[in-house]
Amino acid sequence: MGRILNVKFVPSNSDPGLLVLRVGAGLVLFLRQGWEKVSQLTLINPHFPDPLHIGQNTSWVLAMLSDGVCSLLNVLGVGTRWLSFYCLFNIFIAWAFVHHFAFLGKVPGAAHGELIARYLVSFTALIFGGPGRYSIDANLTNG
């Protein structure tokens, strides 16, 4: 009974968990946000929000890099800590300045705020946890 309660049949190594976290967070971000940006194949989007007042097209390109490119590189485990920080920063800016920290209650966008909070937690965990052994980063440092 203790073996089942303590889940001793699951390996205690954190590398598989980091792999699942990295692939899960990266793929969900790409599929929910990145594919929409990358599939348009344009560096111009006059209707994109400009929360930092750096220009709509610049904001569009930075978001496309985060959600479309960095998310997939995170899946592979390339530059995981730096790219997770970039994704975290981009998502936090969107949450703060576009969604106005919507998370609780019946305010518009509150349901979207839950997904944003999950992204923030996932990418923060990857910044601290790193890519794990099953990544290109690990193969580059060991090889």
* pLDDT reading at 98 higher than 80: yes
Under 8 Å between Cβ of 64 and 37: yes
Within-domain flag for 47:
yes
Within-domain flag for 2:
no
Within-domain flag for 7:
no
pLDDT tens figures, 4-63: 667 766 667 889 999 999 999 999 999 999 998 888 767 778 888 899 999 988 999 999
Q: Report how far residue 72's alpha carbon sits from residue 67's, in angstroms, rounded to the nearest whole number.
A: 8
Within-domain flag for 123:
yes
43 is in which domain, residue-wise?
Answer: 15-137
Q: Hey, what are 131's tokens?
A: 């890519």
Q: Hey, what are 137's tokens?
A: 């980063």
Within-domain flag for 128:
yes
Q: How many domains does the chain have?
A: 1
Within-domain flag for 5:
no
Within-domain flag for 142:
no
Of the candidates 92, 6, 74, the residue with the CA atom closest to the CA atom of residue 34: 74
